[in-house]
Chain A
Amino acid sequence: MTTATTGRSAADRVTGTAHTRVEGRDKVTGAARYAAEIPFAELAHGWLVLSTVARGRVRALDTDTVLAMPGVLTVLTHHNAPRVDTDFVGMLGVPPDPGTALFQHDRVPHRGWPVALVVADTPEQAREAAETLVVHYDEEPHDVAFSAGREAEAYPVDGHMPAVMEKGDLDRELAASAVVVDAEYTTPEEHHNPMEPHAATARWEGGRLEVVDSNQGTHWVAGDLAKLFSLDPGTVRVRSEHVGGGFGSKGVRAHQVAAVMAATVLHRPVRVVMTRRQMFSLAGYRSPTAQRVRLGADPDGRLRALEHRSLNQTSTVHEFVEPSAATGRSMYAADAHHTVSRLVRLDVPTPTWMRAPGEAPGSFALESALDELAEKCGVDPIDLRLRNEPAVGPVSGLPFAGRNLVACFREGARRFGWAERDPRPGVRREGRWLLGTGTAAASFPAMAMPSTASVTAEADGTFTIRINAADIGTGARTALTLIAADALDVPTDRVLVRIGDSDLGPAMVAGGSAGTRSWAWAVMAAAEELRRGLAPGADIPPQGITVRSDTTEAVGALAQKERHSFGAQFAEVAVDPATGEVRVRRMLGVFAAGRIVNPLTARNQLVGGMIWGLSMALHEEAVREPASGGVYGADLAGYHVAAHADVPHVEADWVDDPDPDDPVGIKGIGEVGTVGAAAAIANAVWHATGVRHRDLPIRPDRILSAGGDA
């Protein structure tokens, strides 16, 4: 038995000071094991066979040949796979993507649809057999051609945002506007491509289903697997210790379901790993968007009308909305405010959440349109935004829980040297390069979801935090260590944070930039209660003293407000009009994102988000091939993301953004860094060249085709 010792001075607080990742050493030395690296005895390996047609039916599979191949244990198809139940609503409030209901019927709704799983003793045997398997299809004509022209077939659907919001008389305000911008923008299909591919190992152990996976929320995945396989929730355990990136793609996907099916049939552990190429049809993606923005303003730039219409594609089996039109609802005051996000169904895989879903493409369109309005009005782009700064939610009428966008612009403009900017486009040359600068605003909702946590005062004087968080590279584990240390008033080396295990209980997923906000809330609640109940010098029994928290009530009691993080993005670009090359020279983002827990990892998140936006602006595009229905060049040689050489001096910082009424004060920083970054770059390209680019990515062929002849 030991005695509890806490107590530090306020100066010892660790939140707000830079800390390297607690698991950093394990990661850089290779000691940290990722899902596909964890050894299991008697492990078998599954390889998914994907459809090579974009629509039709599986007529027959020549499984006999494959079953005779070396090492092959079984081939699961719609003829013999275990049945699953998809009639449920999952943790995130939506029914499961039918893409996770593997091998339940013969229909093929898109190219790359799983039609079989080949399981063998080694991954090489499984792969060779899977690639040998001949599948016969009754092919039907398919349609994957997304464009603005599909508007007539489109319909609005509420996703994680309402599809339609309308305030005021749009036509009247547009007619009364001295200046109108009416422009169409497109963004292409984009893929998450986390460094670590999706991987899961499933086994039955002592009557429980255990899945070792790489995901963004083990409670979420365990819950959905339990429902899919009609299992008691307590009999499913999902672990996900280290995750090499997720970005929205690592939820319940074909690999976990396939691994569970095979482990169930074979009574031995089975691992299924997606290849990079398979990820392009199995891991979700961001839908292409076609957007139209109409802005009506008085001569001084004050907005009378804001209309934003967005179209995205989804599959024929599931509705997913990329709510790009919603991005402006909290941004700018306007007398008439109409926004609608719609979708059209095509023979494509179902898109999903991808870093700043809605806001990333939506802000490209809206923030480009504002730049066009500034140009037309002859108003500085920052002044234009300040003139349209709302006092309350422009559509909701709710008060803001902190809105420091103006402070972001003021600080950003000062540091970027915006005041010296000549607004004229196409007049700065340095050798073969035309130079320009651009800016854009950013915002992202600050959500919270109920979570549970427990904090144990151990007999040895340390504290164990159990919170089912997911650290997908964000530094969440470290942030929670700092939060707990301060709440307990002990040094960080006495705090051990355990995450990534569904047995730890329900908690928010790593998503919506709401992970750290939601988890920290639960950790603080439990830690503070423990500290209050723990008299200095009190005896700690050998089993420790544990306090549990559940923030369901507290989160529900949060006052209705417009809660967002905000930011101001700045970019300087160089464009060679002779070759079409665009180089970003520097970027600056200044954010108002609540309380910053760990400046080191926070900067990493924000800079990473800005680079994501750079990559979106200049590089990323998955070309969906009309003839085959698949993605052309589906690998990292064909799908370009920004390379190191594309990433210049990128600086991110933040302004004070306190909200005394908020119990945690953390707003989330995983996505706001991406929002507006592409628009800032596109606006800078216009400033450099005098040519507007409304279609992403802004590649050399587009610069040259737009009239870049030197």
Chain B
Amino acid sequence: MREFGYHRAYDVTGAVALLDGDTDARFLGGGTNLVDLMKTGVERPATLVDVRELPLNRIESTPDGGLRIGATVTNSDLAAHPEVRRRYPVLAQAVLAGASGQLRNMATVGGNLLQRTRCGYFTDVDSPCNKRDPGSGCPALTGEHHNHAILGASGHCVATHPSDMGVALTALDARVSYETADGPGELPIADLYLPVGKTPHRETALPQGALITAVTLPPTPTAANSRYRKVRERASYAFAIGSVAAALDLRDGTVHDVRLAFGAVASRPWRAYAAERILTGAPAGADTFVAAADAELTAARPLPRNGYKVTLMRNLVVAVLSELAEEAAR
């Protein structure tokens, strides 16, 4: 393990200045992913800037009725927050579906969005991996890939994004605020993650040295009737093999508004816009839900051993939307 320098920052300007565009330095949040990657040699930073003491640990209502979540809010605090639970149940459920109690106590919102894929080739420094070592190849294409991407991947990388929280935030149109040495900036979460293409090592649109400071949720009344369902290979403490974040607003049996995002199927949380288009204005019911799922999944390009994910996602969409429709009808 490489020796590294450690600094603790107490204000945002100081944190950004400490990193100072150093490509060999990393911000340290809860450390639940970065420290693991340092142990295995995937990450070998010369310097860590610890941002856990920054004054970014509050959750506040915004004037328009949304919610602003500080970047160092822990997953546990986020999931337990009464306004999150009341207004955005899908988000609280997604966070609680991830990791373990101990990890959620450490993990932060900013770090969660920037966590790396758990692809076993990425985490093994003795394997080729285009994401870790650009140009070295992707063994997953012909190797082990039963939990790899079916949507939006490329011949250069088929890794998935592991976040549950990010799937809910994507369904909720969250905006990501950040700070750089040149001042603050903001990105819709849909634009935070870059397409895979030929550059899987370039993961986000954040400028070099940027520090995520907050995530803002717009007011979303639809989200009051929302749900996160995660399927994994054991009952707890595993990354998803497929997940759905959904919010549904029914008026007289017709879909008035819907939000739908998928997890564990792509290099980023996957917003199901095609499905939403089918659903909006259509009568709520199994036929519509199947049509919506199929519309989204026509873009799926499964590998030889992950075709089951198409079936899984189709079934999950129908199941979750049916449950939400039933509850809305009550």
Contacts and interface: CB of A to CB of B under 8 A. Distances in A.
Contacts, number: 100
A21 interface: no
Given A646-B236, A701-B146, A709 B311 contact: yes
A300 interface: no
A625 interface: yes
Given A619-B234, A640-B234, A700-B233, A632 B315 contact: no
A579 B234 contact: no
Contacts of A581: 231
B118 interface: yes
B1 interface: yes
Chain A binding surface, main DSSP class: loop
B95 interface: no
Q: Which of A124, A127, A581 has the most CB of B within 10 A?
A: A581
Nearest to A625: B143
A186 to B, nearest CB: 15
Q: Which of B41, B124, B143, B237 has the most CB of A within 10 A?
A: B124
Contact of B120 (A579, A632, A705): A632
A634 interface: yes
Q: Which of B120, B139, B234, B308 has the most CB of A within 10 A?
A: B234
A646 B126 contact: no
B49 interface: no
B67 to A, nearest CB: 29
A583 interface: yes
A643 B235 CA distance: 7
A57 interface: no
Interface in A559-592: 578-581, 583
A709 B308 CA distance: 10
Interface in A598-648: 618-619, 623, 625-628, 630, 632-635, 637-638, 640, 642-646
B136 interface: no
B144 interface: yes
A640 B238 contact: yes
Contacts of B231: 579-581, 700
Given A131-B41, A580-B312, A700 B241 contact: yes
Nearest to A647: B235
Contact of A52 (B126, B315, B319): B126
A633 B238 contact: no
B298 interface: no
Contacts of B123: 633, 635, 638
B127 interface: yes
B312 A642 contact: no
Chain B binding surface, main DSSP class: loop
Interface string B184-212: 00000000000000000000000000000
B3 interface: yes
Given A128-B1, A578-B319, A625 B234 contact: no
A365 B325 CA distance: 44
A628 B121 CA distance: 11
A277 interface: yes
A91 interface: no
B40 interface: yes
A701 B3 CA distance: 42
Nearest to B145: A632
A432 interface: yes
Contact of A700 (B142, B239, B312): B312
A700 B235 CA distance: 11
A627 B139 contact: yes
A224 to B, nearest CB: 30
Nearest to B319: A578
A536 to B, nearest CB: 56
Contact of A643 (B1, B2, B236, B309): B236
A618 B308 contact: no
A701 B118 CA distance: 18
A11 interface: no
Q: Which of B139, B142, B235, B312 has the most CB of A within 10 A?
A: B235
A31 interface: no
Interface string A422-440: 0000000000100000000
B236 A578 contact: no
Contacts of A640: 233-234, 238
A643 B237 contact: yes
Contacts of B307: 705
Contacts of A643: 234-238
Given A579-B312, A709-B315, A127 B1 contact: yes
Nearest to A701: B308
A268 interface: no
B238 A580 contact: no
Contact of B2 (A128, A619, A645): A128
A630 B126 contact: yes
Contacts of A704: 308, 311-312
B81 to A, nearest CB: 24
A700 B308 contact: yes
Contacts of B126: 52, 628, 630
A160 interface: no
B99 to A, nearest CB: 10
Nearest to A127: B1
B143 A627 contact: yes
Given A633-B120, A704-B312, A646 B1 contact: no
B143 A579 contact: no
A699 interface: yes
Nearest to A624: B144
Contacts of B151: none
B142 A627 contact: yes
Interface string B114-153: 0000101101101100000000000100111010000000
Given A627-B139, A634-B124, A579 B237 contact: no
Nearest to A619: B234
Contacts of A632: 120-121, 124, 143-144
A625 B308 contact: no
Contacts of B118: 637-638
B316 interface: yes
Contacts of A637: 118, 239
Interface in B273-330: 305-309, 311-312, 315-316, 318-319
A544 to B, nearest CB: 49
A710 interface: yes
Given A579-B316, A632-B120, A634-B124, A645 B236 contact: yes
Contacts of A625: 139, 143-144
Q: Which of A623, A646, A700 has the most CB of B within 10 A?
A: A700
Contacts of A630: 124, 126
A325 to B, nearest CB: 29
Q: Which of A131, A579, A642, A644 has the most CB of B within 10 A?
A: A579
A710 B234 contact: no
A579 B314 CA distance: 10
B233 to A, nearest CB: 5
B311 A623 contact: no
A640 B144 CA distance: 15
Nearest to A706: B308
Interface string A121-142: 0001001100100000000000
A124 B126 CA distance: 19
Interface string A691-710: 00000000111001100111
Given A52-B126, A131-B1, A633-B120, 13 more contacts: A581-B231, A618-B234, A619-B233, A625-B139, A628-B139, A634-B124, A640-B233, A643-B235, A643-B238, A646-B235, A700-B308, A709-B311, A710-B318
Interface of B: 1-3, 40-41, 118, 120-121, 123-124, 126-127, 139, 142-144, 146, 231, 233-239, 241-242, 305-309, 311-312, 315-316, 318-319
Query: Considering the complex of A and B, which 8 residue pairs feature the smallest CB-CB distances, nearest first?
Result: A633-B120, A645-B236, A645-B235, A578-B315, A704-B308, A632-B144, A701-B308, A632-B120
14 contacts: A131-B1, A131-B41, A432-B319, A632-B143, A638-B120, A638-B123, A643-B234, A645-B237, A699-B233, A700-B241, A701-B305, A704-B311, A705-B307, A710-B319
